[in-house]
Chains A and B, each alone.
Chain A
Amino acid sequence: MADTKEKILEVRNLKQYFNAGTKNEVRAVDNITFDVYKGETFGLVGESGSGKSTTGRSIIRLYDPTEGEIDFQGTQVHNISNKKDLLTFRRDMQMIFQDPYASLNPKMKVRDIIAEGIDIHGLASSKKERNDRVIELLELVGLNPDHASRYPHEFSGGQRQRIGIARALAVKPKFIVADEPISALDVSIQAQVVNLMMELQASQDLTFLFIAHDLSMVKYISDRIGVMNTGKLLELAPADEVYNRPLHPYTESLLSAVPLPDPEHERSRKRTVYVPRESNGEEEKLREIVPGHFVYCRESDVADLKKKKAAYYANA
């Protein structure tokens, strides 16, 4: 957990619409606001189509936000207008992508894929230094040094994802948007990578935006978690609170669907189904129910949610 609550990233009223203004308008991200503190891992969970990946991509300016503000260490990310500034910004913010098959250039050797950032930012003064750094990164992510001269097609999905992680780490960024970075990895390797990410976070002073649908891993790695559905942030709270004392019915349905490696638990697990409420005209937005725990709700819900929260503690 971040000791000092220094904000590294502020997202204000972010909207990311596709085909904006046409009848095919898709409100992928629909007015979300949150902060990420320096040194923390902020987990963003939700199902496909919830807008979690789009949020990550807007933050790193792979998309031009439709509306809203993104402040990263004083840089107004949404206002960056030239290539040079974008390059400087991305030296500090890197991304690990979701699809290990589509995110590596099949024509490039692993060495050159990993070193691309090193080359662009001129971080190595000699070929040897470049190569040493690549080998160091390969070992860091659990690959062999001799993998450097191979091509992506020679690797399994899991190994490819590790190449992607090595590539992101190559420029020594401060902030990493990790979009489902472990979904494609084997269980034993997931643990290695997650432990590695946590070690790196401590040693390199990294901040993560960790986007995932695997809820148990997200809980494990995250300090705070935001739950997204249909472009909206429905719940935002410390990881323990989201998992043990959730307030939004969508979060509850999501948690009830997660299978755990415990046959007895599985035999008794009851799944709840989320049915969105009809709008009654009352304004819905993210409201703070207790300090640090936000829920997307109506003003008239707040009293009930406070009671619900208190009941968790009373029953414990």
Chain B
Amino acid sequence: MSNILEVKDLKITFDTYAGKVQAIRGVSFDLKKGETLAIVGESGSGKSVTTRSIMQLLSQNANIEEGQILFDGQDLVKTSEKEMQNIRGKKIAMIFQDPMTSLNPTMTIEKQIAEPLRLHQNMNKQQAAERALELLKLVGLPDAEKRMKQYPHQFSGGQRQRVVIAIALACDPDILIADEPTTALDVTIQAQILELMKELQHKVNTSIIFITHDLGVVANVADRVAVMYAGKFVEVGTVDEVFYNPQHPYTWGLLASMPTLETNGSLYAIPGTPPDLLDPPKGDAFAPRNEYRMKIDTEHQPPMFKVSDTHYAATWLLHKDAPAINPPAEIMARQKVYKEKYAALHTEGGAK
């Protein structure tokens, strides 16, 4: 699969009264055509900043200090605002978290869907209206002819998110960035929206960057997963690798702190809080919260260690001289599942 997007060593800071906040501290990744990459992490870890930088929607006080964002070979960091307007909404579209506030309350749904079509695809009013209707049917809005003449307040949260998705898909974007698109929705509605997104991705072959903090949602939608912490990717791998064979202690903590329906007794909680990125720690940013930290963690930032061709993790525990340790029981159970599964896949001729 070819890469539609390549982000190389991205560093972003924000000027604040207190000083420079180092929000993104060297992020590199690529996005393949037609895949869903989920970025997980806590608030403040830089997930949204990363994707907003792709859209060039960063606030005034943001500085891209270093790095490249290559979209179809074009570096978006160096692209002018005028050119960006031709990319944004057309080739790269975004779905925001809150369907209640991402629609214009004073415009009919039809007009809002038609807007990008008339802007980017030079459609006339009639054509745009027809396409808008098509899109609303595509996202499964019942009674679309009638509903497209209505205003956002006449729609429920799930319906609004369907409308937002219709707008995002209006111009058949190459990349769809979904920033917590289901966080504000009920579980049954969330399930519908996730099913819809997967179905549409299949139909139009869009690549999706899916930002969320819900690991259940990640397990559901992602082909690959990137775990972000304090402005860096700490682990990247296929969904099976990250869920069944996690290597980074932060990933362990995240997975173990979510109760499964079987969890009894005390829940594993990662101690402490994320570091202040005004003055990030010298070594591994996770070290102060890491019960497996070694001396080197407080001195040097770990590089990305290779686990497999698709799986990398930034933890000194993967260094050949690191002592062998036992991850939390919950994680060992997951790794056991992985080993069995992985062995099975190999005998089937290496399906993955």
Which residues of A line the B interface, CB within 8 A?
47-48, 142, 156-158, 186-192, 194-195, 198, 213, 215-217, 219-220, 243-244, 253-254, 257-266, 269, 271, 274
A187-B213, A260-B216, A263-B219 are contacts. A216–B43 as well, Cβ < 8 Å?
no
| Selected A-B contacts with CB under 8 Å, 21 pairs | A47-B189, A156-B43, A158-B42, A187-B215, A188-B253, A188-B269, A191-B267, A191-B270, A192-B271, A216-B216, A216-B259, A217-B259, A244-B261, A253-B188, A254-B187, A257-B188, A262-B243, A263-B243, A263-B244, A265-B219, A271-B191
CB distance from A151 to the nearest CB of B (A): 13
A195 touches B258 (CB 8 A): no
A187 touches B261 (CB 8 A): no
Q: Specify which chain B residues have a CB less than 8 angstroms from the CB of A254 in the assembled complex.
A: 187-188
Docked Cα-Cα span, A189 to B213, in Å, equals 11
Interface string of B308-334 (1 = CB under 8 A from A): 000000000000000000000000000
Docked Cα-Cα span, A142 to B188, in Å, equals 32
Closest chain B residue, CB of each to CB of A243: B261
B254 touches A187 (CB 8 A): yes
Among candidates A156, A215, A253, residue contacting B44 with C-beta atoms closer than 8 Å:
A156
B269 touches A191 (CB 8 A): yes
Closest chain A residue, CB of each to CB of B229: A188
Q: Specify which chain B residues have a CB less than 8 angstroms from the CB of A192 in the assembled complex.
A: 269-271
Interface string of B261-291 (1 = CB under 8 A from A): 1010011111101000000000000000000
B26 within 8 A of A: no
Docked Cα-Cα span, A195 to B267, in Å, equals 7
A261 touches B267 (CB 8 A): no
A187-B215, A188-B269, A254-B188 are contacts. A261–B157 as well, Cβ < 8 Å?
no
A189 touches B186 (CB 8 A): no
Q: Specify which chain A residues have a CB less than 8 angstroms from the CB of B261 in the assembled complex.
A: 216, 219, 243-244, 260
Q: Specify which chain A residues have a CB less than 8 angstroms from the CB of B244 in the assembled complex.
A: 263
CB distance from A190 to the nearest CB of B (A): 7
Docked Cα-Cα span, A142 to B269, in Å, equals 12
Which residues of B line the A interface, CB within 8 A?
42-44, 157, 186-191, 194-195, 213-220, 239-240, 243-244, 253-255, 257-261, 263, 266-271, 273, 337, 341
A261-B219, A261-B255, A261-B258 are contacts. A220–B43 as well, Cβ < 8 Å?
no
Docked Cα-Cα span, A108 to B258, in Å, equals 34
Docked Cα-Cα span, A215 to B268, in Å, equals 18
Among candidates A158, A191, A219, A259, residue contacting B214 with C-beta atoms closer than 8 Å:
A259
Q: Specify which chain B residues have a CB less than 8 angstroms from the CB of A213 in the assembled complex.
A: 186-187
Q: Specify which chain A residues have a CB less than 8 angstroms from the CB of B239 in the assembled complex.
A: 263
CB distance from A1 to the nearest CB of B (A): 12
Docked Cα-Cα span, A47 to B184, in Å, equals 11
Docked Cα-Cα span, A14 to B44, in Å, equals 42
Among candidates A187, A216, A262, residue contacting B219 with C-beta atoms closer than 8 Å:
A262
Docked Cα-Cα span, A213 to B182, in Å, equals 13
Closest chain B residue, CB of each to CB of A199: B266
Docked Cα-Cα span, A228 to B305, in Å, equals 48
CB distance from A188 to the nearest CB of B (A): 4
Q: Specify which chain A residues have a CB less than 8 angstroms from the CB of B266 in the assembled complex.
A: 195, 198
Among candidates B186, B190, B218, B270, residue contacting A261 with C-beta atoms closer than 8 Å:
B218
B216 touches A261 (CB 8 A): yes
Q: Specify which chain B residues have a CB less than 8 angstroms from the CB of A257 in the assembled complex.
A: 187-188, 190-191
Q: Specify which chain B residues have a CB less than 8 angstroms from the CB of A48 in the assembled complex.
A: 157, 186
Q: Which 10 pairs show the lowest CB-CB distances between chains A and B?
A: A259-B216, A191-B257, A261-B215, A220-B259, A191-B269, A47-B186, A186-B42, A188-B270, A257-B191, A192-B269
B258 touches A187 (CB 8 A): yes
Q: Specify which chain B residues have a CB less than 8 angstroms from the CB of A158 in the assembled complex.
A: 42-43
Q: Which of A192, A253, A254 has the most CB of B within 10 A?
A: A192
B269 touches A215 (CB 8 A): no
Q: Specify which chain A residues have a CB less than 8 angstroms from the CB of B259 in the assembled complex.
A: 216-217, 219-220
Closest chain B residue, CB of each to CB of A157: B43
Q: Specify which chain B residues have a CB less than 8 angstroms from the CB of A269 in the assembled complex.
A: 220
B267 touches A220 (CB 8 A): yes
CB distance from B212 to the nearest CB of A (A): 10
Docked Cα-Cα span, A158 to B255, in Å, equals 19
CB distance from A217 to the nearest CB of B (A): 6
Docked Cα-Cα span, A186 to B268, in Å, equals 14
Q: Specify which chain B residues have a CB less than 8 angstroms from the CB of A216 in the assembled complex.
A: 216, 258-261, 263
